[in-house]
Amino acid sequence: MASVDAAIHAPLGLLAELTHRCPLGCPYCSNPLALDAPKDELDTASWARVFREAAGLGILQVHLSGGEPASRRDLADIVGSAHEAGLYSNLITSGVGLTGTRLRELADNGLDHVQVSIQDAEPQSADRIAGYDGAFARKREMAAEVVRLGLPLTVNIVVHRANIDRIEEMVALALSLGAHRVEIAHVQYYGWALKNRGALMPSREQAERAMETTGALRKQHHGRIVIDSALPDYYARYPKPCMGGWGRRSLNVTPSGKVLPCHAAEAIPGLTFWSVTEYSLADIWRHSPAFNAFRGTDWMAEPCRSCPKQREDFGGCRCQAFLLTGDARAADPVCHLSPLHDEVERIAAIQTDAFEYRRFRTPVVAP
Amino acid sequence: MTGAAPQAAIPSDAKPRLPRGVRLTHNEAQGGWVLLAPERIFKADAVAVEILKRCTGEATFAAIVDDLAANFKAPRERIETDVGNLLRSLADKRLLEL
């Protein structure tokens, strides 16, 4: 254990999933299918303790997420405690459920940045994707309020088959809202998004066109808005360096206090996650079995084991490797060197129509 | 700064400052100075730190260059070019206001 311990660098970021409650039902939600119940959520004081421990561990930024963090009535206190701990706080919100008054409270309590998601540039389509009538209008109002308060705004655009042909319009919308940064996030297939994969997956042609459009927009808006994006990974040649490497940069605390190396890690069977209700964050970061499971390169099998890129992409995503191959130690099969790479192409070609919206209780669908 | 050409020179009377949501901080566990920004973290080397500490919104670009030239005993033109390049690249990433 000592050798692993010595090599462990301090994490940079903490994703705090304050709640799984959310007014929206986005079919691409990355939350797990089994959502944490409101009664199991960590209380205000526990989050304050977690933030102090995070700062002590060297963490610089906390991302307040969910679900919809505004579903927590104590959000202003939670923001205040992150600020008191010395952390840079980032609110990741749907924009629904945040009034001007509440936003002002958050700003007064030291909130540093707001990221709001939009589902499409067309109101009707946006509301259909979110599964919530009127969401688009409320997001616009809320984004305007963020800018009025002088807080920096990022617009997050989750891209999939239903909106991929309107990237230009969505970036224009982000600019008109006063955002300084836009994230073009192609759907990643975990949790609810995996369940809806057939209805969300764009075609290869659409994905390639989207990458070209994004490149052109980046040039066009240079100096005005920062455009961050990644290739939709089912169509990539090499895998993404998921989380910057397992247990290397960040950790994720679930609403009930479990600490995960990434938000999808519970998809991998056999991993033991420790909770902030039982261990300190420092102990978890260094010694939790789940964090040490895929640290470094010793766990790797071929083709990763002898791959010169193993320290660039860390073998890709462990969750995706498990979900697509059944083996969490396998190379992420989006890598063209994976023997199962062709299977990814085959899966990507499967298309279905209907969304299954993310809700607390999933309707029982007849076989 | 909307519409500014990417490589435009920085006016000598510009008063660069870090906007809300961007801050320079020292952190022992992360090995030194870092610039915290919306969902991004940049390591700041010793030169960048000296420059960024002077971007208060009060000092002009010319005054910052003068001050650095006096403190680091380097030719003013070279300092002006280096500082100008750093500030422009930060402004293009929306990490600095001019």
Handedness of CA B20, B26, B29, B35 (dihedral sign): positive
The confidence score (pLDDT) of residue B7 equals 63
CA distance A252 to A254: 6
Supply A244's token pair.
């910057």
Say what the pTM is.
0.93
The confidence score (pLDDT) of residue B32 equals 94
Q: Which of A88, A112, A222 sits opposite B6 (nearest CB)?
A: A222
Supply A145's token pair.
């309020």
Supply the mean pLDDT for chain A.
Answer: 94
- Measured in residues, chain A has a length of 367
In the predicted structure, residue A53 carries a pLDDT above the cut 90: yes
- pLDDT, greater one: A364 or B81: B81
Give how far A58 is from chain B: nearest CA, Å. 5
CA distance A185 to A206: 14
CB A89 within 8 A of CB A110: yes
Chain A contact set for B98 (CB, 8 A):
none
Q: Does A150 touch chain B (CB under 8 A)?
A: yes
The confidence score (pLDDT) of residue A1 equals 38
Mean pLDDT of the region A7-36: 93
Q: Does A149 touch chain B (CB under 8 A)?
A: no
CA distance B32 to A74: 34
The confidence score (pLDDT) of residue B3 equals 43
In the predicted structure, residue A366 carries a pLDDT above the cut 70: no
The confidence score (pLDDT) of residue A353 equals 84
**Model ipTM value:** 0.89
Residue B33 CB neighbour total at 10 angstroms: 18
Mean pLDDT of the region A283-290: 97
Q: Does A286 touch chain B (CB under 8 A)?
A: no
The confidence score (pLDDT) of residue A361 equals 62
Give how far A92 is from chain B: nearest CA, Å. 10
